[in-house]
Structure 1
């Protein structure tokens, strides 16, 4: 694993790496990509037990009325779009990018009844056309400051925790995924973040 990929650096004013809250306390934001997945109920149980809010960026192709989306909203979490089917948007034409984002936003809204305001580009890849499409649709483009690299760490959930804890800073948005190893690491991750004096906030 390349540890240099853990901390994301960008001066692009059109994307968000930190939460914008003006809290007097140190905060971080947990975000989960690539759902809704089978492990979502387990993740929600942990978040509920720990009283931690989180943001879920979903591929709209995976969202069906039977998924536990209602619970996500009822328990105080946020839902954003992670595109329709996780295509690398920079490989699409401007019109295709707009169509993808519009389709994903409308599908999530039609099922949940809640406006979608947050967008995370698949693979963290975007260009000026991605940003323009997001703005036209009223979406804020959210990346991350800290990547847990959890998708590479199926057998090493403890490394997921280390990647985050060793790079904590106030306001950081943390990238996680709806994966079994992430669910396994999550209670310990929450505990260690709290031990460092941080609270959890939404975007």
Structure 2
């Protein structure tokens, strides 16, 4: 695995890749939901007593999705835009409109303020971070990418990407995928065996 694809940092001070803390903790984040495996992910997180952050495409969010359970169980919901477009291909006004629509829809359904935003594909430019900032959103990337979308047949590779690269405060990128559900219990235990706990941005 190319190390440069797994471990990420940003020179932009408006972009969060770590949580600064004196405690030895990491943050699990799940993109591209709410999807079909959400309930399974929540079952695992509840059993393991792990909080997490979910970055959702607002087009996939309906009242019937288990969004209330996400909040009731201590997790955080952020926006992943409306339709998962590469925002860096758009101008400021279009990016602002997309993020505003997404934020407004999530807040209308959940009745909870949306504070965090993750750019689709991890692609952003200065207009993206300005649009987010103007909407009161904090742009969140990651420090460690699990590359889980590439490992449907070999979910153990997710462990190989994450565990050797653990560090204090690291934000870990995961997705709402079947292979991620399959490996998540072991991933949590491996992270704990390295002496790390779990937290969320607040």
TM-score range (shorter-chain normalised) is over 0.9
Query: SS state of the match for residue 166, structure 1?
Result: helix
- TM-score, length-scaled by structure 1: 0.97
Using the TM superposition, name which of 35-44 and 3-12 deviates more: 3-12
Residue 17 (str. 1) matches residue 17 (str. 2): yes
Report the number of matched residues. 201
1:11 deviates by 2.1
Q: Deviations over 1:7-64 (max 9, x none)?
A: 00222111000013x3x43100000000000000000000000000000000000000
- 1:74 aligned residue (72, 75, 79): 72
- 1:107 aligned residue (105, 108, 131): 105
Q: Distance in 2 between matches of 1:44 and 1:28?
A: 18
Q: Distance in 1 between matches of 2:12 and 2:96?
A: 20
User: What residue is the counterpart of 1:174 in the other structure?
Assistant: 172
- TM-score, length-scaled by structure 2: 0.98
Counterpart mapping for 1:1-203 below 5 A: 2-20=2-20, 22=21, 24-203=22-201
Q: Distance in 2 between matches of 1:161 and 1:47?
A: 17
Structure 1 gap segments, 5+ residues each: none
Query: SS state of the match for residue 57, structure 1?
Result: strand
Q: Distance in 1 between matches of 2:147 and 2:3?
A: 9
1:96 deviates by 0.5
Q: Distance in 2 between matches of 1:140 and 1:162?
A: 29
Structure 2 gap segments, 5+ residues each: none
Deviant stretches of 4+, over 6 Å: none
Q: CA RMSD in A?
A: 0.9
Q: Distance in 2 between matches of 1:35 and 1:152?
A: 17
